[in-house]
Chain A
Amino acid sequence: MSRMGKALFGLWSVMTFSLLGYGLFVALGDSPPDAEQGNMIRAFYYHFPNWIGAGIFLPLNLLASVAYLALRKKNVLAATKADALALATAEMGVLYCVLGMITGSLWGRVEWGIWWAWDARLTTTLMLALIYIAYLMVRRISSGSSRATICAVLAIFGFVDMPIVYMSTTWWRTQHPAPVFGGGDGSGIAPSMMRATLWNVTAWVAWGVLVAGIRYRGELQAQLREQEDALRVLEEASIEEASNV
Chain B
Amino acid sequence: MSSPFVPYDPSIDTPMGYRHLLLIYCVVWAVQLAYGGYAVLQWKRSRKNKSE
Chain A residues at the B interface, C-beta cutoff of 8 Å: 24, 28-29, 33, 38-40, 42-43, 46-47, 50, 91, 95, 98-99, 102-103, 106-107, 109-110, 204, 207, 210-212, 214-215, 217-219, 221-222, 224-225
Chain B residues at the A interface, C-beta cutoff of 8 Å: 5-9, 12-14, 16-18, 20-21, 23-25, 27-28, 31-32, 35-36, 39-40, 42-47, 49-50
A91 touches B17 (CB 8 A): no
| Complex-state Cα separation, A95 to B9, whole angstroms | 32
| Complex-state Cα separation, A109 to B13, whole angstroms | 14
Cross-interface CB contact of B42 among A39, A46, A106, A215, cutoff 8 Å: A215
- List chain B residues, Cβ under 8 A from A214: 36, 39-40, 43
- List chain B residues, Cβ under 8 A from A212: 39
- List chain A residues, Cβ under 8 A from B25: 24, 28, 46
B32 touches A95 (CB 8 A): yes
B43: nearest chain-A partner, CB-CB: A218
Given known contacts A33-B7, A106-B23, A211-B39, A99 and B28 CB-to-CB distance under 8 angstroms: yes
